[in-house]
Each structure stands twice: as structure tokens, then as C-alpha cells.
């Protein structure tokens, strides 16, 4: 009836071999994914430090007071008064006045003054940068190349990710740019986003799991939420642009409350006291492009994820817990707030934190809602103009010059650290709640 | 432990265990079992739940290998060869010792595909239609489903599904058929149909059936083994075990004092 | 006891307030959808007064300066990048799901799964950086500088594939795990090898869940913005050559809105018209995948 040999060793071995080959392929695919991650991280880190060859517009020897032995002192050794002297000697009166208006020279920190000297007097121009790997592996080649091609230049090893980088604000020069405004903008935006999205999301989840009956309306709401979670983030950006920025412009810009931007305090169109820097995209559009609009948009974006996650957390709580509460004569809300929520809060919080970290990384919707291309002042309140870390990364990455890749990479590291800490907090929170529950 | 080792026909048992011990991780489930299963007979394994009978059954076709952390000691011989020897391939073993499970588990494929799948992966090269018809006839399912072989197996009733699973198992042509409480999820009529199969099947196969239903064991089996707390308490011809149990514990179980 | 002797309940206005808030919260989601539909419709309406939907959907030229608004170049670029992304994400995602759910030991899973989750958590703008910085140069080195543009859809598509891979992997894993173990046991008992059980029994059974995962991945690829904005190109180009630069629908929206833009200009309205198409596509894909997910959940 059938053609089989006992313990058919031959075909059996084939089947096993095939199985092992496939298993190797499957493992390979997983490893491929992990490998991509490692290569990505490596290429980011590769850009965060390396040699920079700079050419000064004005050489240090020409403007620095010479040391006792006649040599040119490094900028790090000059004192504040010496730096101020250099500035006064070499800058035009109008420029000096403008700087004084922004912040009196006497009151500035030494580091600030040094930066000014560098930027305004020495006017360094980047000739070439090298990546970390190149810098470490072909050091002598780099030295030779620099000596041969730009003998007057200064070759320094630079960590693009440095405390200065974190404390400086935007600048069009890669050497002096920093992410301070972006970090503040990101944090402000995300805090406001959470304040809006978490109560709404949790509330909707409680409604759907505990209060709603199974009728067409509620089924529609559930399907709708699921669909919303799949809508691309850029569509939320368009929603934000159309409604929060434009339609609700008076509200979100603060004009309705008499706190509109474009007045002294925020960098409105050409309104900066420092002069010269105009927020290029502002001129044509009314200013609902504020932290508030951004947060509202992001809140709507992460809301479906928060709701779905909270729903699952609440659903996981067994009926028995609720029933024992009711049996004691508690109201529905008392049962929920006293029993169900505390029991599910760890999972709810973890999921919320994860949704939040997604929100922090969002770029496209914020571009649409009008993140500023250039801020001279840090955002100060919800009606301020804003920029965020991902926006900054986007802008820098899009520039062709190599040095902007460097600072983009540095900004990426800052962003990733922020995200990692957030996720770590989520895990810690979850563990804390878990152990509290176990008592 | 009482076993009639000297009964006629006992030489060359289909399955023989010698000092079999079994652990799930660190907890032992089966202690020092010596048993001989005779060829072309129906052997029932009875005992209260948790006594280790299913565990013992599953060692015979090394299904327990699929559970991580399990360990076997002692010998389990199939036609004289130790099946836990390192040279033995469990995949090949299972094509010779088939199994039917408590809850019917047909594949979500057509009835025809269900029968052919196992045979094909084992290298079947004969006429598929013939195999399907023969297998279904053996379980008396052919007349009921011959016009709907392409229908999904899930459309069948529980009893029909279980018979399909039996047909699927025998299509591979095993020598031994292990049945793990095959009727406990079925209604009495379906159960009866499957019990009727056993008597016919033993001409072709050796049947080992685990059951918690004593009456069933009494009805269909030639020999019965009684397990209690992982120990083989008594084993012998069914009539003797039921009407003349040698061990007090067997007697208590049979008369319903526990289990 | 100080409670009243009757069984009549106390008035609980607090409960009503709570209920009201919760209902409002649930309603916000409905308002969001309404908001999206209204905004897209309202802001694109003036566009369709000027440009016929037919021309919009079928013309192959997008040159606003001369009044040509055919979405085809943007659409084909979106399709191209999405297909490349799916070519990576589907096989690799499915394969890694099979590995993790059927083969990996607990120890291996504890390392690989979090790694995949990290992959999924990397913001897409970082992926865009990676595409520009590393992938495109690599492609140019492999295929030659003349053949591969500085901006190209292949690079963006590949990186998008890596971005979406974890999403598909985790959804496929869910689908595979949902297959009851009794089915696997039945197959093993017939003398099947592990690979035969995985590929010939478990996978076909989980099919609708797997298909749902693929469709969700596709939807994600269509809507992805930052990677293509950075790496695919910044000018509409009707081409099927993945080595050439081409702007996608999403990339176009982001580029235009990041520059000078006045309300009610045709450029402004055209963005919403594109958004409408984007929304329609992703919504359809998501609805289909939802149906499939529900189908496989019911079977078990």
C-alpha cells in the first residue's frame, strides 16, 4: 500500500537537514535586525567626535595679546577682561552695541566671551571634518593632509557632543550650535502632551471597559480608536495645522488671552532684540504655531495608543476583584478608583510612557504645526514658538555640509539617551507597582 | 506490583519498560515502572487523575521530549530497542508509534488533507485517494464524508473529528497506537463507536489506551495496568484485575472508594 | 448604625460627573476622526475647484509653477519605497517571528526580543540620518556612483524596511502563538520534524493573522515621512528606478509645509489633497487588516 522502509534513514536525514537550514535562515533574519541596529548606532557615534580642520578668518596671533615669551596664548588662558579687550578692539561699534543690548559684556561668563571671540573675531571656517573611526585609524594621514593643504589651519580633536553642546542654543554655524532650545522645547511639549493625553486616554479606556454597553455606538468608538492608531502621524500634523494652528489660532497663539507671540519676549517676525534673525516661515502665517498647538496635536496622536493599552490593562483585571468591591456596597466609580485602577496602574503607566516616548520622537506632525526653523530665545511658556530635538536633527541632517551631520549625530545621542531613560523609568515604575501590589 | 509475566504470548512484547522513572523538572511523576505490553492486544492504563498514566503513555512515543526540563531514566524498549538511545530519532519513532489525543485536534485543512498530510511527510508515494478511502473506511467514517472530502475538518462533529484523527494516525501505518483518553470529550454514542473500533484494530495494531473510565477499560481491554501516584500497582488480564485484584489499593479503586 | 433605614440610594452627583467626563474622553476620539475628515476635506476643497480629481489622480506631472498637479510621481515614489520596505520587512519579520516563537530558548528570547523593541523605538528621523549617512554611500560604493543618486528611493526603502521589521515580527509572533498547542502536538505525533510543524501546520493556520501583520506594515510604510524626506529625494519624479531620487507623497507634504506657505494658496490646498489620498489609502489598509485580525481571533 505504501512505499516505506523502516526508519527510512535517508529521507529522514534530508528532512532534518532542511529543517536545520531553515532554522539557520530564521535566526539569520533576527540577527540581521539586531545587526542593523548596531550598525545604526555605530554610524551615529562615529559622527559624534573626530578631527576638525579649521581656518581662521583672523589669526589668533593678530589679535591676542602675546604672552611673556612672545608666543600666542591659547584662548582658554585668556581672562574675561582680556577677552572683552579683544572684542572691543576688533568689532565695529554697532556690533558691540548690539551685543551689549542683548546682554552686557561685563556680565557674561568667561565661556560666553570666549565663544564670542571665536565666533565674531576669529571667524573660524570649517575646512574638513573626519569621523571618529577615521580619526582614530588614520591619524597620521590626517595630520599630513592638513599640513599639506591648509598649513595655517588649526587641527583639533573635537567632541561634538559636549556640555557646551547641551547649553548653547541654535546657531547657523555648526561650531557654535547647541540643543538647549530644542531640549527645552521637547520637554515642554511632551509634558503638556502627557497632561492632556493621559487623563483623556485613561478616561476613555475606563468608559469603554467599565461603563459602555455593547451597542452600535460603542462598537463604533472602539473601531474608530483602532483605526486612528493606524493613521500616519503626518495626517495628525495636518489636523493640527488646520484646526489648532489655523482655526483655533487666536486661542492657541494666546492672542485671545492677550499673550500673543510676535510681541517682545518671543522671537516674532524680525522682533528679536538681537536683530537680524528672522523666522523665515512666519511672515505669511498667523501665529498659532506654539507649544500649545504642538502638544494638542501630539496628544491626539498618542491618544489611541494610550487608550488601547489602558483598555487591555483594565480588561486583564479579573472580574472577582470588581465583584468583591460591589458586594461591599461600593459604587461603580469607587470600585474602579479603589480596586481596578490601582491593580492595573502599572501596566497603564508602562504603556503610557512608551506612547510618550513615541511622541518625543515625532517629527513630521511638528513640522506641519510649525516648529520654528530658527529660534533665538528659548520657549518660555505654552504660547511660545518652539522647536524640538527631532526637528533639530531633521534640519541639521538635511544640510549638505559634513559638520552638520556631526552635530545631528550629537543631537541624536541626546535624544536616544532621553528615550532610554524614559523607557528605563517605565520599567522601574512597573516593577515598583508590581512589588507594591505583592506587598 | 503484580504482573503475570509468564502468561502465554508475552515474549517479544511490543513495548517493555524497565525501571522507568520520569521527572518534570525536579518533581518526579513516575517511579520505577516495569511493564510489558503485549502485541496485538488492547492494554488499558487506569488510575485516578494525576497518577502518571498519561505521562507514562507519552514516554512511549517521546512526546514528553517536547516539554522542556523533562527527564527519563531506565529503559523503554520498542521491539527490543531502547527508544531513548541516542541513535534513535524521535521523528522516525513517532511514525511507528502513533497517538490520538483527548481533545480532537484535526488540522484546519480539508478532511482529505488531514489524512494525507502525515503520510506525505513520511514519504508516502502511493495512491492518495486509495489511502484516504482505506483510512476513512477503517474508522467507519467513509460513508459519512465521502462526498465532502474537501470540506474543512472543523465542520465535522466532535465524534467525527476524533475518528478523523484516528484515521489520520493510522494512515501513517504505525505498529502501535497510543490513545490518551480518546473518548472523554465525546458523547456516549460517539464514544461507543470508537470503542467498537478497538476490537477490530488490535488485529493490525497494538493499542495502549489511557482511560479514567473503568467501565470502558473493562469493556474493551485485554489487559489492564493500574497506576497510583506514579507507581504501577498492578497489571494483568482485565478480568483478573477487575474481579480478583491482588492488591488492596486496586480493589479500593475498582470499588470506587477513591478516584 | 447611622445609615438610613431605607434601601433608597444616596444621591451621587459625583458619579454623574465622573461618567460625564469619561464619556467626553471617549468622545474625543470620535471628534478626532471628524476633525481629520473635516480638515482634509475643507482645506482640499478649493484645490479640487481648480484641479479636477481626474487630472489629480492620473496626471504624471507635478509642477505647481505651471499648474500641473498630477499626483502620480509622488504616488509611484510612495509605492516604490513601500515595496522595497516590504521586501525586507515581511520575510525578515516573519522569519524572526518564527524563530522567536518556535525555536528560541528562553535565554535567547530575553536578549533578542528587547533588541527588536529597541529597534522599533528608534525615531524615524534617526533612521533617515542612517539612510543618508551610511546606507546611501554603501549603495553607491556597491553599485557605482553614476548609477546611484545621492538621494534615492532604494536607500530610504531599505531603512524603512528595518524600521517596520519589528512591528511585523511582533504581530506575526502574536498570530503564531495564538495557534493552539494541540495542533502542534497532533503534527508531532504523526512523525513531523519541527520545521514541518512550523511551516506546514502552524503558519497556514495563522495565515489571517500574518496577513494582517503584513498589511499593517504596508500601511506604516505608506505613511512614513522622515526617512523619505531625508533620503529619498526632494523633487517629484515619475520613475520606477529605485536608484534615482523621487519625492513621495509624505516627503512632499513635509518639504512644502516647512517652507514659506500662505494659507489658501493652491500649494497649501494641494497638501491637503495629497493628505486626503494618503488618509484614504491607510484607512483602507487598516480596516482590511482589522477584519483579518478579528477573523483569526474568532477561530480560536
Please give the Cα distance from C91 to A26 (Å, whole number).
Answer: 9
- Determine, yes or no, domain membership for B173: yes
CATH code of the domain covering residue B140: 3.40.50.300
Number of compact structural domains in chain C:
1
Tens digits of residue pLDDT in C184-197:
999 999 999 999 99
Please give the Cα distance from B224 to B44 (Å, whole number).
Answer: 5
- Which of the residue ranges A65-79, B181-195, C270-284 would you say has the lowest mean pLDDT? A65-79
Host domain of residue B18: 2-254
Provide, as residue numbers in chain A, all residues whose Cβ is less than 8 Å from the Cβ of C162.
Answer: 33, 36, 40
CB B120 within 8 A of CB A35: no
Q: State whether residue B232 sits within 8 Å of chain A by CB.
A: no
Structure confidence at residue A55 (pLDDT): 82
- Determine, yes or no, domain membership for C11: no
* Closest by CA position to C34, among listed A141, A227, A51, B81: A227
Same domain, A427 and A342: yes
- Determine, yes or no, domain membership for C265: no
Confidence of residue A257 (pLDDT cuts 50, 70, 90): low
Structure confidence at residue A192 (pLDDT): 94
Number of compact structural domains in chain B:
1
Structure confidence at residue B205 (pLDDT): 93
- Determine, yes or no, domain membership for B259: no
Same domain, A144 and A276: no
A4: nearest CB among B89, B91, B173: B173
- Determine, yes or no, domain membership for C282: no
Please give the Cα distance from A376 to A268 (Å, whole number).
Answer: 10
Residue B60 C-alpha cell reads as: 512511549
Q: State whether residue C174 sits within 8 Å of chain A by CB.
A: no
Judged by phi (left if over 0) then psi (alpha if -120 to 50, else beta), residue A75 lies in alpha
DSSP-derived secondary structure letter, A162: S
Structure confidence at residue A275 (pLDDT): 30
Please give the Cα distance from C257 to C268 (Å, whole number).
Answer: 8
Same domain, A102 and A247: no
Kindly list the distances between the CA atom of residue B77 and the CA atoms of A275, B13, B84, B145, B204, in Å, as whole numbers in the listed order: 93, 9, 8, 38, 20
Same domain, A266 and A134: no
DSSP per residue, B169-185 = HHHT--SEEEEESTTTT
- Determine, yes or no, domain membership for C64: no
Tens digits of residue pLDDT in C136-178:
999 999 998 888 889 999 999 999 999 999 999 999 998 998 8
- Determine, yes or no, domain membership for B169: yes
Provide, as residue numbers in chain C, all residues whose Cβ is less than 8 Å from the Cβ of A301.
Answer: none
Number of compact structural domains in chain A:
2
- Which residue from A minimizes the CA distance to B126? A2
- Determine, yes or no, domain membership for A286: yes
Kindly list the distances between the CA atom of residue A313 and the CA atoms of A206, A348, B210, C174, in Å, as whole numbers in the listed order: 10, 6, 41, 17
- Which of the residue ranges A80-94, A181-195, B50-64, C145-159 would you say has the lowest mean pLDDT? A80-94
Structure confidence at residue A301 (pLDDT): 95
* Contact criterion met (CB < 8 Å) for B107 and C188: no
Mean pLDDT of chain C: 89
Q: State whether residue B5 sits within 8 Å of chain A by CB.
A: no
- Cβ contacts below 8 Å, chain A against chain C, sum to 271
SS3 A414: helix
Confidence of residue A311 (pLDDT cuts 50, 70, 90): very high
- Determine, yes or no, domain membership for B214: yes
B92: nearest CB among A2, A3, A7: A7
CB C103 within 8 A of CB A23: yes
Please give the Cα distance from B167 to B173 (Å, whole number).
Answer: 10
Beta strand extents in A21-123 (DSSP E only): 49-56
Kindly list the distances between the CA atom of residue B18 and the CA atoms of A75, B4, B35, B121, in Å, as whole numbers in the listed order: 88, 15, 7, 32
CATH code of the domain covering residue C229: 1.10.3720.10
* Distance (Å) from the alpha carbon of C52 to chain A's nearest alpha carbon: 22
Confidence of residue B259 (pLDDT cuts 50, 70, 90): low
Provide, as residue numbers in chain A, all residues whose Cβ is less than 8 Å from the Cβ of B121.
Answer: 15
CATH code of the domain covering residue A419: 1.10.3720.10
Average pLDDT over residues C190-215: 92
DSSP-derived secondary structure letter, A122: I
Tens digits of residue pLDDT in C5-30:
566 666 677 788 888 888 899 899 99
A201 exposure class (CB count in 10 Å sphere: 0-12, 13-18, 19+): buried
Interface of A with C in 201-220 (CB under 8 A): 201-204, 206-208, 211-212, 220
- Which residue from C minimizes the CA distance to B162? C186
Q: Which one has a higher pLDDT value, A339 or B5? A: A339
B169: nearest CB among C185, C190, C196: C190
Q: Which one has a higher pLDDT value, A356 or A7? A: A356
Q: State whether residue C191 sits within 8 Å of chain A by CB.
A: no
Host domain of residue C241: 75-247+289-299
DSSP-H helix ranges across C178-265? 181-189, 194-197, 203-205, 207-223, 226-231, 249-257
CB B209 within 8 A of CB B182: yes
- Determine, yes or no, domain membership for B161: yes
* Closest by CA position to A33, among listed C97, B157, C83: C97
What is chain C's Cα-based Rg? 25
Interface of C with B in 152-181 (CB under 8 A): 180
Structure confidence at residue A437 (pLDDT): 61
DSSP per residue, A70-95 = SPPPPGGG--HHHHHHHHHHHS-HHH
- Determine, yes or no, domain membership for C126: yes
Structure confidence at residue C298 (pLDDT): 62
Structure confidence at residue A269 (pLDDT): 38
Angle between helices A216-229 and A291-315 (to 10 degrees): 120
B165: nearest CB among C180, C186, C192: C186
* Distance (Å) from the alpha carbon of B70 to chain C's nearest alpha carbon: 15
Query: Does residue A77 have a pLDDT over 90?
Result: no
Interface of C with A in 225-244 (CB under 8 A): 225-226, 229-230
* Distance (Å) from the alpha carbon of B251 to chain A's nearest alpha carbon: 42
- Determine, yes or no, domain membership for A10: no
Host domain of residue A433: 180-438
Same domain, A96 and A210: no
Sort strands C62-63 and A124-129 into parallel, antiparallel or unpaired: unpaired
Sort strands A49-56 and A154-159 into parallel, antiparallel or unpaired: antiparallel
* Contact criterion met (CB < 8 Å) for B92 and C193: no
Amino acid at each position: 500500500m505504501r512505499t516505506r522502509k523502516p526508519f527510512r534513514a535517508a529521507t529522514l536525514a534530508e528532512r532534518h537537514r532542511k529543517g536545520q537550514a531553515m532554522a539557520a535562515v530564521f535566526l539569520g533574519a533576527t540577527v540581521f535586525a539586531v545587526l542593523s541596529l548596531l550598525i545604526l548606532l555605530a554610524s551615529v557615534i562615529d559622527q559624534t567626535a573626530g578631527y576638525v580642520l579649521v581656518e581662521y578668518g583672523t589669526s589668533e596671533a593678530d589679535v591676542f595679546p602675546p604672552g611673556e615669551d612672545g608666543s600666542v596664548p591659547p584662548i582658554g588662558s585668556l581672562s574675561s577682561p582680556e577677552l572683552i579687550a579683544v572684542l572691543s578692539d576688533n568689532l565695529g561699534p554697532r556690533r558691540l552695541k548690539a551685543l551689549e543690548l542683548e546682554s552686557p559684556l561685563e556680565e557674561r561668563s568667561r565661556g560666553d566671551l570666549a565663544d564670542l571671540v571665536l565666533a565674531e573675531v576669529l571667524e573660524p571656517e570649517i575646512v574638513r571634518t573626519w569621523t571618529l573611526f577615521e580619526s582614530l585609524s588614520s591619524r597620521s594621514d590626517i595630520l599630513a593632509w592638513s599640513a599639506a593643504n591648509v598649513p595655517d589651519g588649526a587641527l583639533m580633536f573635537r567632541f561634538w557632543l559636549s556640555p557646551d553642546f547641551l547649553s548653547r542654543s541654535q546657531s547657523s554655524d555648526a561650531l557654535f550650535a547647541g540643543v538647549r532650545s530644542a531640549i527645552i522645547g521637547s520637554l515642554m511639549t511632551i509634558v503638556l502632551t502627557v497632561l492632556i493625553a493621559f487623563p483623556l486616554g485613561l478616561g476613555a479606556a475606563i468608559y469603554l471597559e467599565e461603563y459602555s454597553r455593547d451597542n452600535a455606538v460603542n462598537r463604533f468608538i472602539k473601531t474608530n480608536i483602532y483605526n486612528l492608531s493606524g493613521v500616519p502621524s503626518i495626517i495628525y500634523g495636518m489636523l493640527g495645522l488646520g484646526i489648532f494652528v489655523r482655526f483655533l489660532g487666536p486661542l492657541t497663539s494666546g492672542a485671545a488671552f492677550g499673550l500673543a507671540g510676535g510681541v517682545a519676549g518671543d522671537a516674532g517676525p524680525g522682533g528679536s532684540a538681537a536683530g537680524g534673525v528672522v523666522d523665515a516661515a512666519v511672515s505669511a502665517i498667523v501665529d498659532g504655531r506654539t507649544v500649545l498647538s504642538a502638544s494638542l496635536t501630539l496628544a491626539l496622536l498618542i491618544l489611541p495608543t494610550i487608550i488601547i493599552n489602558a483598555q487591555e490593562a483594565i480588561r486583564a483585571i479579573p472580574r472577582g476583584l470588581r465583584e468583591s468591591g460591589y458586594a461591599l456596597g461600593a459604587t461603580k466609580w469607587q470600585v474602579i478608583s479603589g480596586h481596578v485602577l490601582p491593580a492595573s496602574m502599572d501596566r497603564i503607566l508602562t504603556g503610557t510612557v512608551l506612547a510618550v516616548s513615541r511622541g518625543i520622537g515625532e517629527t513630521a506632525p511638528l513640522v506641519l504645526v510649525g516648529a520654528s526653523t530658527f529660534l533665538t530665545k528659548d520657549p518660555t511658556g505654552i504660547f511660545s514658538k518652539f522647536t524640538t530635538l527631532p526637528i533639530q536633527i531633521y534640519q541639521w541632517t538635511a544640510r549638505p555640509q559634513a559638520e552638520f551631520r556631526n552635530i545631528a549625530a550629537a543631537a541624536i545621542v541626546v535624544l536616544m539617551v532621553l528615550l532610554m531613560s524614559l523607557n528605563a523609568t517605565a520599567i522601574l515604575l512597573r516593577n515598583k507597582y508590581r512589588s507594591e501590589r505583592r506587598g | 506490583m503484580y504482573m503475570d509475566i509468564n502468561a502465554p504470548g508475552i515474549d517479544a512484547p511490543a513495548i517493555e519498560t524497565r525501571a522507568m522513572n520520569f521527572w518534570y523538572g525536579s518533581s518526579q511523576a513516575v517511579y520505577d515502572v516495569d511493564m510489558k505490553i503485549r502485541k496485538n492486544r488492547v492494554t488499558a492504563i487506569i488510575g485516578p487523575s494525576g497518577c502518571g498514566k498519561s505521562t507514562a503513555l507519552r514516554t512511549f512515543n517521546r512526546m514528553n521530549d517536547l516539554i522542556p526540563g523533562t527527564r527519563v531514566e531506565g529503559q523503554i524498549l520498542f521491539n527490543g530497542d531502547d527508544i531513548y538511545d541516542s541513535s534513535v530519532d524521535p521523528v522516525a519513532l513517532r511514525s511507528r508509534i502513533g497517538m490520538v489525543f483527548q481533545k480532537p485536534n484535526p488540522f484546519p485543512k480539508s478532511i482529505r488533507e488531514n489524512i494525507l498530510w502525515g503520510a506525505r511527510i513520511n514519504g508516502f508515494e502511493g495512491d492518495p485517494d486509495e489511502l484516504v478511502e482505506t483510512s476513512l473506511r477503517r474508522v467507519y467514517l467513509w460513508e459519512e464524508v465521502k462526498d465532502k472530502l474537501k470540506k474543512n475538518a472543523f465542520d465535522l462533529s466532535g465524534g467525527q473529528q476524533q475518528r478523523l484523527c484516528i484515521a489520520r494516525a493510522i494512515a501513517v501505518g504505525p505498529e502501535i497506537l497510543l490513545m490518551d483518553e480518546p473518548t472523554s470529550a465525546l458523547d456516549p454514542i460517539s464514544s461507543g463507536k470508537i470503542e467498537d473500533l478497538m476490537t477490530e484494530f488490535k488485529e493490525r495494531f497494538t493499542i495502549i489506551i489511557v482511560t479514567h473510565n473503568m467501565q470502558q477499560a473493562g469493556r474493551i481491554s485485554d489487559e489492564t495496568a493500574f497506576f497510583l501516584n506514579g507507581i504501577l500497582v498492578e497489571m494483568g488480564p482485565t478480568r483478573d484485575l477487575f474481579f480478583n485484584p491482588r492488591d488492596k489499593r486496586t480493589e479500593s479503586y475498582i470499588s470506587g472508594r477513591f478516584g | 448604625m447611622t445609615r438610613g433605614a431605607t434601601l433608597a440610594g444616596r444621591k451621587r452627583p459625583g458619579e454623574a460627573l465622573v461618567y460625564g467626563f469619561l464619556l467626553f474622553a471617549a468622545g474625543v476620539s470620535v471628534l478626532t476622526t471628524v476633525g481629520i475628515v473635516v480638515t482634509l476635506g475643507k482645506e482640499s476643497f478649493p484645490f479640487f475647484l481648480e484641479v479636477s480629481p481626474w487630472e489629480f489622480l492620473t496626471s504624471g506631472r507635478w509642477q505647481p509653477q505651471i499648474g500641473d498637479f498630477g499626483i502620480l510621481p509622488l504616488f509611484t515614489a510612495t509605492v516604490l519605497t513601500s515595496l522595497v520596505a516590504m521586501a525586507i520587512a515581511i520575510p525578515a519579520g516573519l522569519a524572526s517571528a518564527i524563530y522567536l516563537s518556535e525555536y528560541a530558548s528562553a535565554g535567547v528570547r530575553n536578549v533578542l526580543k528587547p533588541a527588536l523593541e529597541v529597534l522599533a523605538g528608534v525615531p524615524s528621523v534617526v533612521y533617515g540620518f542612517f539612510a543618508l549617512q551610511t546606507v546611501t554611500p554603501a549603495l553607491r560604493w556597491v553599485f557605482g556612483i553614476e548609477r546611484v543618486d545621492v538621494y534615492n528611493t532604494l536607500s530610504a526603502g531599505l531603512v524603512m524596511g528595518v524600521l517596520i521589521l519589528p512591528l511585523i515580527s511582533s504581530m506575526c509572533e502574536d498570530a503564531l502563538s495564538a495557534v493552539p498547542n494541540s495542533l502542534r502536538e497532533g503534527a508531532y505525533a504523526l512523525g513531523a520534524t519541527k520545521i514541518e510543524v512550523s511551516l506546514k501546520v502552524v503558519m497556514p493556520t495563522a495565515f489571517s493573522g500574518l496577513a494582517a501583520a503584513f498589511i499593517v506594515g504596508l500601511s506604516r510604510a505608506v505613511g512614513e515621512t522622515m526617512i523619505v524626506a531625508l533620503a529619498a529625494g526632494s523633487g517629484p519624479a515619475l520613475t520606477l528606478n529605485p536608484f534615482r531620487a523621487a519625492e513621495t507623497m509624505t516627503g512632499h507634504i513635509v518639504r512644502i509645509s516647512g517652507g514659506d506657505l500662505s494659507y489658501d494658496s493652491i500649494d497649501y490646498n494641494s497638501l491637503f489633497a495629497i493628505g486626503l489620498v494618503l488618509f484614504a489609502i491607510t484607512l483602507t489598509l487598516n480596516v482590511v487588516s482589522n477584519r483579518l485580525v478579528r477573523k483569526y481571533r474568532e477561530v480560536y
